[in-house]
Structure 1
Amino acid sequence: MTVIDGEAADPITGAEVVVADGRFSAIRPASDAPPEDGPVIDARGGYLVPGLWESHTHLSGFAYTKPENERAQYISQLLTDFLDTGVTRVVNLGGPLDTELAARAYRDQATDAAAGLFFAGPVFTGIGGWPTMGDPERAAIAYQTDNADVAYRQALELADQVDFIKCIYDGEPGAPDKLPFDALKAIAAAAHEKGKKVLMHVHQRADLEDAVAAGADGIEHAFHPQDPGSTAEARDVAALLAETNTYYCPTLVTWEQFARNGDAAYLQELVDDGIATPEDIPRITARPGYGRLFPRHSAEESRVRFDYAMRTLALMHDAGVKITAGSDVAILIPTPPLALLRELQLLAKAGLPLPAVLAAATRHSAEKIGQQATAPGTITVGSVADALLLDADPYADITHLTNRSHHIGTLRAGRPSWSEGGPAA
């Protein structure tokens, strides 16, 4: 078996991996001698990579249409679906706290295997800001504030119940629906005081620069450039993010879907790229949101953000920016887990080297929310035994990682999904 540990090291060929108590306890040259105890799973001919991370999604949003008493179970099923797609950890970027706590409690009692869940709870935004849009029914998904002291106290209290904190810093400067800069700084200070990371959703370059100045650990979404024809803004942003060690989650597939909603050629492209099947297309076109404009971002703006990110992401990587993989939405993708696989395809199409694509979907995503000590997204001694077994080298072709026909199975906290009789080659 070949082990790709997710660190900077070269792949380890002819390896044997030992798991004990749900963690990797040894990674060593394979031996013909039988183990001292425990079952043996034959993975000869396979490629073992860290389990994938979805670092930006909205499970509670996908569950919103379900009756309230069914949402926790529905989220649990989504986590099972993610695991079936090679994703062992899912990061939920905002939703009602009671729903997310209920989903975690449900998973704590469940006996089936599923991806692990990390969540932010309600996001912080301005008065009537995104994503509440002044709708009282959406109030539970956000703290709406224009006061730094209030925001600080709310963030301190929330940090004790969530895994990290998220802010929405989007809108015209000084407008009521935009979180004030002093409140943004106060929230970040509260999060860090509690040992939690803070992620910030931005729109333009100025928002991104303010977010970094306020103490953001991660920037969510590719920014909208002032001059799409120049890469100068991207170079400046790359230098800032690299210098401050701030993670960057571009959510390319978000902008691709918003830009091409209603485009039949796009759906065919998803089929050609192995993300959708012909049978998926009528189900996608029957969705209520198909062909409809997204309420916050026009198709034109989304196209600009997508095209600019695709042109400049490689230079950001070259500058040392730590990129993470997240999909955000799945309005045109058959399922939320497949949206992450599409994001990985897009990262590769944007020119990221394949080891960097894997790092974006594993180690960097764990680091972004401060989980590198407990769930580092690597195959290293002492780390949680989360992994994906492939039948072909993911460093040779991105489809070996994103096409599920190459997925043999997952290892979740040491629990394999494939039988002991395979997959020897």
Structure 2
Amino acid sequence: MSIRNVNVIDGVAPGPIAGAEVVVTDGRFSAIRPADAQPAGDDGPVLDARGGYLVPGLWESHTHLGGHAFAKPEPERAKYVSQLLTDFLSAGVTTVVDLGGPLDVELAARDYLGRDAGTAAGLFFAGPAFTGVRGWPVLDDPARAAIAHQTNDADLAYRQTLELADQVDFLKCIYDGEPGAPDKLPFDALKAIVAAAHEKGKNVLVHVHERTDLEDAVAAGADGIEHAFQPQDPGSTAEARDVAALLAETNTYYCPTLVTWEQLAHNGEAGYLQKLVDGGFATPDDLPEITARPIYGREFPRHSAQDSRIRFDYAMRTLALMHDAGVKITAGSDVALLMPSPPVALLRELHLLAEAGLPLPAVLAAGTRHSAEKIGPPATAPGTITAGAVADALLLDADPYADIAHLIDRAHHVGTLRAGRASWTEPAV
């Protein structure tokens, strides 16, 4: 198959490749060439992009679909995750990264998706995260035990990681809590997990709370940091500058999950929901369902509204300087408590990255290439439109480097490619 009359934003070049032709063979991009180039052979069906912009398919690099599905009856869980992944694809998101959930649900979901590949977003997952004994997010709820390995023993954590690494795409640790407290993963256990995962060729992503957590995670060899950290002095950018230098020097990825802190900071506020409506992220018809959710207007465990506001405001003020320092930022939404759906949460995250001052090419990189690189070698799609990459892409009717709305407003979405399968069928004449 080939796509003609298209402007390609490949995720590597600084600007669009105008008037190109993209060839897809066996589910991968095999050539990106000038429109007047002679075909090397029969490229199969030809689709007309009508002068649109082809960008790499979007990645949701931090969510918890398996955890949500665990609340469903067991026979429905895999189907539920599959439907969510279908919803993601319809929003232009071709790959979803699950940052922690029951392993049986995630394995079943992958098997379910394998029966009809190409109709839903791809899935990468960590299985159960590692945390301290009764640590977040398990706490005192035995029903949540399936979503995490609770440990305070480095040798046990090492052995569990070796076993788990053969079944998952990457590893997730939660390094959150008071130093030395039993609910916080010990530092030596964190180091053991990273060492074992790297032996198996798998990356490790670490959830942090404060700057010291982040510094410990980097010292342990973490490949990615999840969540914007809570600053000690919100009035100073010094911590952000120090963190930016550390992350850039160690080539550690950073996923701030801005939309998480925004939602937790404004949970229960009608004005915030109206802001979502005004911005096109919700409709008036969505609001009754959102306000009827049990979590609406209630304090979220572990993260107060006040602390969440501090984290959100600080991240919004400092993310641009982190980008300028060379930090590789990724896009992930984590939760969709006040959003109509999880895909909308990611689109809101991309909007917030732009609002925080990231240049639009950097926003796209956060939602594509950097998110793919973060999870490491298992990501066979590198989040680019380059020869050999899995043919996942989003076709837009306008330049996403001109306006963030052209990327996140679904009115500008013409269709998707998922493993080479196009959702639009406009033939070339």
TM-score range normalised by the length of the shorter chain: over 0.9
Q: How big is the shift at 1:169? A: 0.2
Cα-to-partner distance string for 1:230-262 (whole Å, 9 max, x where unaligned): 000000000000000000000000000000001
Match status 1:17 vs 2:19 = no
Match status 1:385 vs 2:395 = no
Work out which of the residue numbers 169, 176, 191 in structure 1 matches 2:175: 169
Q: How big is the shift at 1:296? A: 1.1
* Contact 1:267-1:281 within 8 A present in 2 as well: yes
Cα-to-partner distance string for 1:175-195 (whole Å, 9 max, x where unaligned): 000000000000000000000
Query: What corresponds to 2:35 in structure 1?
Result: 30
* Contact 1:167-1:200 within 8 A present in 2 as well: yes
Q: How big is the shift at 1:33? A: 7.4
Aligned to 1:270, what secondary structure does the other structure show?
helix
Q: How big is the shift at 1:101? A: 0.6
AA aligned opposite 1:80: T
* Contact 1:366-1:372 within 8 A present in 2 as well: no
Distance 1:215 1:259 in 2: 31
* Contact 1:123-1:142 within 8 A present in 2 as well: yes
* Contact 2:19-2:51 within 8 A present in 1 as well: no
Aligned to 2:284, what secondary structure does the other structure show?
coil
Match status 1:345 vs 2:351 = yes
Q: How big is the shift at 1:111? A: 5.3
Q: Classify 1:32/1:205 alpha carbon distance in 2 versus 1 (closer, same or farther; 3 Å).
A: closer
Q: Classify 1:178/1:357 alpha carbon distance in 2 versus 1 (closer, same or farther; 3 Å).
A: same
Query: What corresponds to 1:417 in structure 2?
Result: 423
Work out which of the residue numbers 43, 59, 66 in structure 1 matches 2:65: 59
* Contact 2:385-2:393 within 8 A present in 1 as well: yes
Distance 2:34 2:384 in 1: 18
Q: Identity over the aligned pairs, expressed in percent?
A: 79
AA aligned opposite 2:288: P
Alignment RMSD, CA only? 1.4
Which stretch of the first structure deviates more once superposed, 8-17 or 146-155?
8-17
Query: What corresponds to 1:195 in structure 2?
Result: 201
Work out which of the residue numbers 246, 252, 275 in structure 2 matches 1:240: 246
The correspondence of residues 173-188 of structure 1 with structure 2, limited to 5 A, is: 173-188=179-194
Which stretch of the first structure deviates more once superposed, 11-20 or 109-118?
109-118
Query: What corresponds to 1:2 in structure 2?
Result: 7
Q: Classify 1:221/1:373 alpha carbon distance in 2 versus 1 (closer, same or farther; 3 Å).
A: closer
Aligned to 2:351, what secondary structure does the other structure show?
helix
Work out which of the residue numbers 35, 45, 49 in structure 2 matches 1:43: 49
Query: What corresponds to 2:275 in structure 1?
Result: 269
Work out which of the residue numbers 90, 105, 113 in structure 2 matches 1:107: 113
* Contact 2:67-2:147 within 8 A present in 1 as well: no
Aligned to 2:60, what secondary structure does the other structure show?
strand
* Contact 1:363-1:372 within 8 A present in 2 as well: no
Query: What corresponds to 2:319 in structure 1?
Result: 313
AA aligned opposite 1:49: V
Distance 1:346 1:190 in 2: 35
Aligned length: 423
Q: How big is the shift at 1:115? A: 0.5
Which stretch of the first structure deviates more once superposed, 158-167 or 267-276?
267-276
Cα-to-partner distance string for 1:270-289 (whole Å, 9 max, x where unaligned): 11111111111111111111
Work out which of the residue numbers 158, 161, 165 in structure 1 matches 2:164: 158
Distance 1:349 1:255 in 2: 15
* Contact 1:125-1:145 within 8 A present in 2 as well: yes
AA aligned opposite 1:31: D
Cα-to-partner distance string for 1:189-225 (whole Å, 9 max, x where unaligned): 0000000000000000000000000110000000000
Aligned to 1:24, what secondary structure does the other structure show?
strand
* Contact 2:125-2:169 within 8 A present in 1 as well: yes
Q: How big is the shift at 1:372? A: 7.7
TM-score, with structure 1 as normaliser: 0.97
Work out which of the residue numbers 216, 231, 248 in structure 1 matches 2:222: 216
Structure 2 residue runs without a partner (length 5+) = 1-5
Aligned to 2:33, what secondary structure does the other structure show?
strand
Aligned to 1:90, what secondary structure does the other structure show?
strand
Aligned to 2:401, what secondary structure does the other structure show?
coil
Q: How big is the shift at 1:373? A: 6.5
Aligned to 1:44, what secondary structure does the other structure show?
strand
Distance 1:371 1:229 in 2: 39
Distance 2:307 2:156 in 1: 34
Q: How big is the shift at 1:9? A: 3.4
Cα-to-partner distance string for 1:390-416 (whole Å, 9 max, x where unaligned): 000000000000100000000001100
AA aligned opposite 1:13: A
Work out which of the residue numbers 364, 375, 400 in structure 1 matches 2:406: 400
Query: What corresponds to 1:82 in structure 2?
Result: 88
